[in-house]
Chains A and B, each alone.
Chain A
Amino acid sequence: MKSVILRKGANMAMTGLMLAAALAVLVPLVLIFVHIIKMGLSSISLDFFTQIPKPTGETGGGMANGMAGSAVMIALASIIGLPIGIFGAIYLSEYGGSRISTVIRFAADVLAGIPSIITGMVAYTLLVVPMKGFSALAGAVALAMIMIPIILRTTEEQLKMVPGSLREASLALGVPLWRTSLKVTLRSAMTGVMTGVLLAIARVAGETAPLLFTALGNQFWSSKLTAPMAAMPLQIFNFAISPYEDWHRLAWAGALVLVTIMFALSLSARYFGRSRQKN
């Protein structure tokens, strides 16, 4: 009898311990949100979304150019990264099976784990040095290099989950493998692929290090892809390390907006994932 009580007590203790550990995951997230909202919310105004930063000494101003710059570079990075990631994944999932696929898969996993500052240095060497100047293009390439392995691996996983019977149905109708892969397999996996793409975008939206030596940042509006361009994470970084109180407030507001955007992206990724399961 005693042993039963002991056993039940041990079970409860361990359950409590594991629950506490699981809850601990939430703590940093809640702390980040609470703190950023507290510090940033008061500085959010219409100006923040429409103005560019004011010169030192003047109060007010916003991060409109940073948001636009981030949007441009993420869009450009997606244009580069999506086809490479998705087509590469189709090769691995639908055509692969040879040794080269194993090598590519391993390389993608290593690439995904490379510190993003190194990705930035690679883009610097490949683009900034030969083009003799920092540029939005170099920033986008650096971001694309981070996106590609994420998109490649998530897309491959999604394609592998498509039942073989659909591929066979298409092939048996005399549809070539490449058309089958694009129009049947990829299409069936599309919602899952979109989830991976959104997660990749959420990941690079907050990247600062790869942009330091590539896009550099810009205090003004710039739409030239070959010139330095502002980006939200860069502006947050620059404002946060500046000595001015007003810029600190902008940095907090920027942090709040960035975290909100990433939160929204993750939520929509989950929504996509959910609607796929329903089918």
Chain B
Amino acid sequence: MQNKVKLEQLNVHFGATHAVKDVSMDFFENSVTAIIGPSGCGKSTVLRAINRMHDLVPSARVTGRILLDDKDIYDKVADPVSIRRRVGMVFQKPNPFPAMSIYDNVIAGYKLNGRVNRSEADEVVESSLKRVALWDEVKDRLKGNSMELSGGQQQRLCIARTIAVKPEVILMDEPASALDPISTLKIEELIEELKEKYTIIIVTHNMQQAARVSDHTAFFYLGELVEAGETRKIFTTPDKKQTEDYITGRFG
């Protein structure tokens, strides 16, 4: 399997706090990797490092390397904006732009960058919404307010917005934790489909979800990577006692 993103001795500090410690691991192309672990274990911090979201936090310091197609995204000449165009992100709480219509939200990545072509835009909106199975639900009210959608619809809209700019990697930070079980199921089915085209990295609190949607799983504890491997193996015969204890619900 082709490796798409590679962490090499990644360390993240926030001021005096050492949030991520010496993490090295691989994420593979066209597969879903789940990052699990108890709260505060650094899993979201790792995820945000992969599209340089920490750049905006003055106290954050990232060291080590993150290779995207074998190029270090923290290299001096690497441009965070072009990296974020290749590595999209879906957040825990659905965050459509409240002042924009459904249509404008999907096309936001183009619109905010000031390069929209009408006919191309229509096509991108339709294909992106179809891809997240939202098209039939909203095709009659594309100009309507995005905040009138349900939480699950909003999250699918956010995913549509992310794939509209044609990224290569999609980071998902607990994308279903604010949703009801039915919406969660739809998001999970969507993840399953999206991996045909994208490399997906998902942080989740929910171990059943990790087991259901992912091909690979990484278990983090206190900022360190305890164990990473194929999901089936992590959930049935983990190498480390700590992983087994967490998976079986003995702590965390």
A: which residues have CB within 8 A of B?
97-98, 163, 165-177, 179-180, 183-184, 187-188, 279
A184→B53 contact, CB < 8 A: no
Q: Which one, A98, A171, A173, A188, contacts B53 given CB within 8 A? A: A171
Report chain A residues within 8 Å CB of B89: 168, 172
Residues 122-166 of B, flagged 1 when their CB comes within 8 A of A and 0 if not, give: 000000000000000000000000000000000000100110010
A165→B112 contact, CB < 8 A: no
Interface size class of B (residues with CB under 8 A): 20 to 34
In the bound assembly, the distance between CA atoms of A174 and B162 in angstroms comes to 10
B: which residues have CB within 8 A of A?
51, 53, 56, 58, 81-82, 84-86, 88-89, 91, 93, 95-99, 108-109, 112-114, 158, 161-162, 165
- Select from chain A the residue with minimum beta-carbon distance to B48: A168
Report chain B residues within 8 Å CB of A183: 112
Report chain B residues within 8 Å CB of A170: 97, 108, 112
Report chain B residues within 8 Å CB of A188: 97-99
In the bound assembly, the distance between CA atoms of A98 and B85 in angstroms comes to 28
Q: Would A172 and B51 be within 8 Å (CB), given that A165-B93, A188-B99 are in contact?
A: yes
Q: Would A174 and B165 be within 8 Å (CB), given that A168-B91, A184-B112, A187-B99 are in contact?
A: yes
B95→A166 contact, CB < 8 A: yes
In the bound assembly, the distance between CA atoms of A98 and B112 in angstroms comes to 28
- Select from chain B the residue with minimum beta-carbon distance to A94: B56
In the bound assembly, the distance between CA atoms of A163 and B99 in angstroms comes to 13
Report chain B residues within 8 Å CB of A172: 51, 53, 84, 88-89, 91, 162
- Select from chain B the residue with minimum beta-carbon distance to A182: B112
Most buried by A among B58, B112, B161: B112
In the bound assembly, the distance between CA atoms of A184 and B58 in angstroms comes to 21
In the bound assembly, the distance between CA atoms of A180 and B108 in angstroms comes to 11
In the bound assembly, the distance between CA atoms of A179 and B113 in angstroms comes to 7
- The 3 closest A-B CB pairs, nearest first, are A174-B85, A172-B89, A173-B109
B91→A174 contact, CB < 8 A: no
B58→A97 contact, CB < 8 A: yes
B158→A169 contact, CB < 8 A: yes
Q: Would A173 and B158 be within 8 Å (CB), given that A166-B97, A168-B53, A188-B99 are in contact?
A: no
- Select from chain B the residue with minimum beta-carbon distance to A95: B56
A180→B112 contact, CB < 8 A: yes
- Select from chain A the residue with minimum beta-carbon distance to B59: A97
In the bound assembly, the distance between CA atoms of A155 and B112 in angstroms comes to 21
In the bound assembly, the distance between CA atoms of A257 and B151 in angstroms comes to 50
In the bound assembly, the distance between CA atoms of A204 and B81 in angstroms comes to 41
Report chain A residues within 8 Å CB of B165: 173-174
B113→A174 contact, CB < 8 A: yes
In the bound assembly, the distance between CA atoms of A172 and B158 in angstroms comes to 11
In the bound assembly, the distance between CA atoms of A102 and B98 in angstroms comes to 31
Cβ distance B71 to chain A, nearest Cβ, rounded Å: 16
- Select from chain B the residue with minimum beta-carbon distance to A164: B56
Report chain B residues within 8 Å CB of A97: 58
Q: Would A173 and B98 be within 8 Å (CB), given that A97-B58, A168-B91, A179-B113 are in contact?
A: no
Cβ distance B123 to chain A, nearest Cβ, rounded Å: 18
Report chain B residues within 8 Å CB of A187: 99
Report chain A residues within 8 Å CB of B53: 168, 171-172
Question: 25 A–B contact pairs at CB < 8 A?
Answer: A163-B95, A165-B91, A165-B93, A166-B97, A168-B53, A168-B89, A169-B91, A169-B108, A169-B161, A170-B97, A170-B108, A171-B84, A173-B84, A173-B85, A173-B112, A174-B81, A174-B82, A174-B113, A174-B165, A175-B109, A175-B113, A176-B81, A183-B112, A184-B112, A188-B98
Cβ distance B93 to chain A, nearest Cβ, rounded Å: 6
B85→A279 contact, CB < 8 A: no
In the bound assembly, the distance between CA atoms of A176 and B52 in angstroms comes to 12
Q: Would A171 and B85 be within 8 Å (CB), given that A165-B91, A166-B95, A279-B98 are in contact?
A: no
Cβ distance A96 to chain B, nearest Cβ, rounded Å: 9
- Select from chain A the residue with minimum beta-carbon distance to B84: A174
Cβ distance B79 to chain A, nearest Cβ, rounded Å: 9
- Select from chain A the residue with minimum beta-carbon distance to B110: A173
